[in-house]
Amino acid sequence: MSITFKNVAHTYNEGSPFSYAALKNINLNIPEGKVTAVIGETGSGKTTLVQHLNALLLPSEGELEVLGKNIVAKEKPKNLKALRKQVGLVFQFPEYQLFEETIAKDIAFGPKNFGASEEEALEVVKKVINVVGLDESYLERSPFDLSGGQKRRIAIAGILAMDPGVLVLDEPTAGLDPQGAKDMMELFLRMNREFHKTVLIVTHDMEHVLHYCDEVIVVKDGQIEKQCDVKEFFRSVALLKELRINPPAIIRLREELIAQGFHIASSILDLDELAQAVAKEVRSHE
């Protein structure tokens, strides 16, 4: 049971003068139970890639397997609803999908679509509102009265309420202040560590990739450029440079120190470790 892409390609507006190949021959295995980051430049195909996971987009070629369900090119997938329940997809700026009169109703919308009863849905709503860092006093308010950040939490709660095994987030922190973004990333990390969900995050923020993710997938021009462990990814600065990625602050500091003549292992990714290594180096010269 995992997520596997086999020779998947996706072309928008196939067969028309506007046809555009967004994905080309994707082979990919996304590990279960981990937090995986999907990175790449704007227009590289990240969003197209993740929209295949719950069959919002179907492959033009190839096939993919998501949690035991097969999606084959040019075939209407069976069990579409079961698949959508299993893979919760949070869009960019999800606050724009709220529509109900009360927050409770909006969060319950997903579960009820997937067949939950009124009582079951209400129970789930009470649970997830706390998970996203708001409390039950919000439930009877209108979602349109909230601030942008709170709206986004409600929208994410609406997806969490479906209790999906896989949580896919398309740039979930875009437009949030640093503290809001940090809280958001910690929420996703908790979804993984505590509730054992497979989490996939599309992001541009390398700090987030370093601190919250286990795996990295780099998409470039509709192809998978690289897939590896986060620690390994940030070890080779040459690769980052080649991919035109601005490394996180801690890596830049480490590289600067090495360039200035410090003998520091390039596997260090943590501020404390780096401080200790520098202290050790300084002491050895005294």
Interface contacts to another protein, rule CB under 8 A: 13, 16, 18, 51, 54, 56, 81, 84-85, 88-91, 94, 96-99, 109-110, 113-114, 144, 158-159, 162
Return the number of the residue (109 or 212) whose C-beta is nearest another protein: 109
| CB-nearer residue toward another protein: 98 or 124 | 98
Give the shortest CB-42-to-another protein separation in angstroms: 16
We find the least distance from the C-beta atom of residue 56 to another protein, in angstroms, to be 5
CB of 59 to another protein, least distance (A): 16
Nearest to 67 by CA among 78, 77, 53: 53
Sign of CA dihedral 8, 13, 17, 21: negative
Q: With respect to another protein, which residue has the nearer C-beta, 144 or 195?
A: 144
Angle at Cα 164 formed by Cα 156 and Cα 130, nearest 5°?
45
Q: Kindly state the smallest distance separating residue 25's Cβ from another protein, in Å.
A: 24
Q: How far is CA 183 from the centre of its chain?
A: 15
CB of 159 to another protein, least distance (A): 7
Residue 16's CB is within 10 A of a number of other CB atoms, namely 8
Strand-pairing partners, residue 11, are 21
CA distances to 37, 119, 187 from 30, in Å? 10, 35, 21
Minimum distance from CB of 96 to another protein (Å)?
A: 5
Secondary structure of 38-95 in HEC code, one letter for each residue: EECCCCCCHHHHHCCCCCCCCCCEEEEEECCEEEECCCCCCCHHHHHHHEEEECCCHH
- Determine the 3-state secondary structure of 36 from DSSP: strand
Nearer to another protein, 17 or 178 (CB): 17
Q: Which is nearer to another protein, 145 or 270 (CB)?
A: 145
For the bound state, the minimum distance from the C-beta of residue 142 to another protein, rounded and expressed in Å, comes to 11
Rounded distance, CA 152 to CA 257, Å?
A: 40
- Say which DSSP state 147 is in: -
> Given the complex with another protein, which of 159 and 201 has the nearer CB atom?
159
Instruction: For another protein, give the closer residue by CB, 66 or 269.
Output: 66
